[in-house]
Amino acid sequence: MTLVLIDYQPHILQGVRNVPHEDLINNTIGLVKSAVHFGIPIVMSHVGVGLKGAQPFLEELVALAPSAVIVDRTNVNAWEEEEFVEAVEATGRKKLIMGGLWTDVCLAYPAIEAERAGFEVYVPEDTIGSITQLSHENGMKRMIQAGVRPITWNVVLAELQRDHARSDTEAGTSRIFLEHLFKMDPDKGWD
């Protein structure tokens, strides 16, 4: 499994109108923390930083995953950027958890291409957004028709943990759930 995040950049986030930014960022942070907690490779890609001086990937996400590979692109479709595809393929994993802004453009294009290239693609729908609800829904429909599987971020964490008896990861998993799914102070637990 590889986590692939595309275009979580301040100026692109500003165009997201179908979901509250606070919820989207909270869920995406939970997803990144889940990947880091379980040692899942992470590929992040932003667009136009070197070419046009666009704002880079959101620092709050980059800071959570210091070993993530970050690819700057010029192509709208990340799958048309050789360096991006090479970074994904270099993980040696065939299951991709893909998130991106905007659903119908910067995420749909590469998710569909990855699925066609033989990857098993999952999209945590609560970590993505688009300009309008219609744009988001159309992007989801296109991806689903191409074989992409919709999920939510917490499903990724639950699948990685799988068994509460796995004591080496259970405390960290519970902490992520408390903080980002239940939006509780993880130091107070269920009290």
Overall domain count for the chain = 1
Q: Is the preceding omega at residue 102 within 30 degrees of 0, hence cis?
A: yes
Please confirm, yes or no, whether 106 is among the known catalytic residues: yes
Residue 105 within any structural domain of the chain: yes
Are residues 106 and 137 in contact, defined by beta-carbon separation less than 8 angstroms? no
Q: What is the pLDDT of residue 186?
A: 85
Residue 28 within any structural domain of the chain: yes
| Domain harbouring 104, CATH code | 3.40.50.850
Beta carbons within 10 angstroms of residue 58's beta carbon? 22
Long-range contacts formed by 137-146: CB under 8 A, 24+ apart: 138/104, 139/102, 139/103, 139/104, 139/105, 139/107, 139/108, 140/103, 142/104, 142/108, 142/112, 143/107, 143/108, 143/111, 143/112, 143/115, 146/111, 146/112, 146/115, 146/116
Residue 129 within any structural domain of the chain: yes
Residue 182 within any structural domain of the chain: no
Residue 11 within any structural domain of the chain: yes
pLDDT per residue as tens digits for the range 62-93: 999 999 999 999 999 999 999 999 999 999 99
Q: What is the pLDDT of residue 178?
A: 94
Residue 180 within any structural domain of the chain: no
Residue 176 within any structural domain of the chain: no
Expressed as residue numbers, the domain containing 78 is 2-162
Beta carbons within 10 angstroms of residue 171's beta carbon? 10
Of these residues, 106, 114, 143, 176, which one is catalytic? 106
pLDDT per residue as tens digits for the range 145-165: 999 999 999 999 999 999 989
pLDDT at 191 over 70: no
What is the value of pTM for the model shown?
A: 0.96
pLDDT per residue as tens digits for the range 133-144: 999 999 999 999
